Amino acid sequence: MMIKRLAILSSLLLLLNGCALNTRSGETPSPATTNLTTAYDYQLLSPNYHPISLSKIVSAASKADVVFIGEYHGNHASHILQMQLLEKLHNAKKQQRRPIILSMEQFERNQQTILNDYLSNKIGEQYFIDKTPAWSNYKASYRPLVEYAKQNDISIVAANAPADIVRCIGRVGESYINKLSSDKKQTITNKPFAEIPRYANKFFGVMGLSGHAVAGKRMQQSYLAQLTRDNTMAESINKALKQSPNIQVVHLNGSFHSAEHLGTVGALKRMNPTLKVLIITPIHKEQFAEHKKKHKNTDDYHYLLNSQPKAFVNPENMKAAHTAMFAKSAAKSKLCE
């Protein structure tokens, strides 16, 4: 049972970590994988997998209502691309006199007030990081984006569902919603378990399963937790658009939430079918050939990047780390009961 749990946990971690150009050469397209030599390098690709320049993708993205930039969490190339695109889209929107808003998976709805306080200089950075609390890689990965938004009066939407609620849905299931106070319910979407076409097959496929029918109770509940994240982020984006119809939203999330127009994108399209959406999805360069073969017809733009270093080489080290993580997660889950 423990081995099975560790395998499932490993799959979930991979999912969550998903939750062009050579950047040193500026605007000149290059062959797909040849110039990706450092952790900061990426190569932008069109939907038909041809190398394109940063200016080309900015031009295409400028026409969208919502731009999703998928990331591999903690990957330097993902975060430098996000920063470059945010800056260029912001400048493009200034010329069009169309405001831009940054929406982030990395902040939760219940953190919106303290995020606003930081953006308006009411509190300092360390207090902000401690009180949210921000992700552990905030300073290396997201500080440049938040600081750019702060300096340029760009609003940031804390889009995600609170982690404790998501965790408890994964532990208890749908019935956990009934335990929430009316205030807590406001921090998630009013339809947390609304289905997203084709998403279940992808989610359970990552776990090595063929769909709902063969998934056990715990995996079904994990899927409900995932839906809660995606439906909440989609609703957060849609609310921002309704409040300010002329804006463009740039949303950052792990690639699983937006790739193939599934996840948050699928939920947003269900809520607002007429939106123009552009998606940029990362691919590890070692997986490019396989990805291209598997996804021949796609509307996604992509960017190639180098893989991060292996977290573990020794299987025993990996097992020990995952066992500790599983125990920590189980301890937190007891608060749900």
β-strand partners of 70 = 253
Which tokens hold the place of 225? Answer: 């937790």
**In the prediction, which pLDDT does 29 show?**
44
Instruction: With cut-offs at 50, 70 and 90, classify the pLDDT of residue 322.
Output: confident
Question: 91-121 burial string, b = 16+ CB within 10 Å, else e?
Answer: ebbeeeeeebbbbbbbbbbbbbebbeebbee
What mean pLDDT is predicted for residues 88-96? 90
pLDDT-wise least confident of 138-147, 206-215, 272-281:
206-215
Predicted confidence (pLDDT) per residue in 292-304, tens digit: 999 887 899 999 9
User: How far, CA to CA in Å, does 54 sit from each of 141, 232, 259, 265, 274?
Assistant: 20, 30, 20, 23, 26
Q: Please, what are the domains in the chain?
A: 2-336 (3.40.50.11550)
Q: What separation, in Å, do the N-terminal and C-terminal C-alpha atoms of the chain show?
A: 22
Instruction: With cut-offs at 50, 70 and 90, classify the pLDDT of residue 5.
Output: very low
pTM: 0.90
Which tokens hold the place of 219? Answer: 């995996």
Determine phi and psi for 104, rounding to 5 degrees: -135, 130
Q: Examine the pLDDT at 221 and tell me if it is beyond 50.
A: yes
What mean pLDDT is predicted for residues 294-323? 90
Looking at the chain, the whole-number percentage of residues with pLDDT higher than 90 is 74
**158 vs 337 pLDDT, higher one:** 158
Report d(CA 14, CA 313) in Å as an integer: 16
Report d(CA 285, CA 291) in Å as an integer: 10
Which tokens hold the place of 289? Answer: 């050939």
Q: Examine the pLDDT at 25 and tell me if it is beyond 50.
A: no
Instruction: With cut-offs at 50, 70 and 90, classify the pLDDT of residue 26.
Output: very low
Cα 162 from chain centroid (whole Å)? 14
pLDDT-wise least confident of 14-23, 192-201, 300-309:
14-23
Q: SS in 3 state form for the chain?
A: CHHHHHHHHHHHHHHHHCCCCCHHHCCCCCCCCCCCCCCCCEEEECCCCCECCHHHHHHHHCCCCEEEEEECCCCHHHHHHHHHHHHHHHHHHHHHCCCEEEEEEEEEHHHHHHHHHHHCCCCCHHHHHHHCCCCCCHHHHHHHHHHHHHHCCCCEEEEECCHHHHHHHHHHCHHHHHHCCHHHHCCCCCCCCCCCCCHHHHHHHHCCCCCHHHCCHHHHHHHHHHHHHHHHHHHHHHHHHHHCCCCEEEEEEEHHHCHHHCHHHHHHHHHCCCCCEEEEEEEEHHHHHHHHHHCCCCCCEEEEECCCCCCCCCHHHHHHHHHHHHHHHHHHHHHHC
**In the prediction, which pLDDT does 206 show?**
85
What is the chain's Cα-based Rg? 20
What mean pLDDT is predicted for residues 110-132? 98
Instruction: With cut-offs at 50, 70 and 90, classify the pLDDT of residue 18.
Output: low
Only one residue has tokens 């993902």, namely: 78
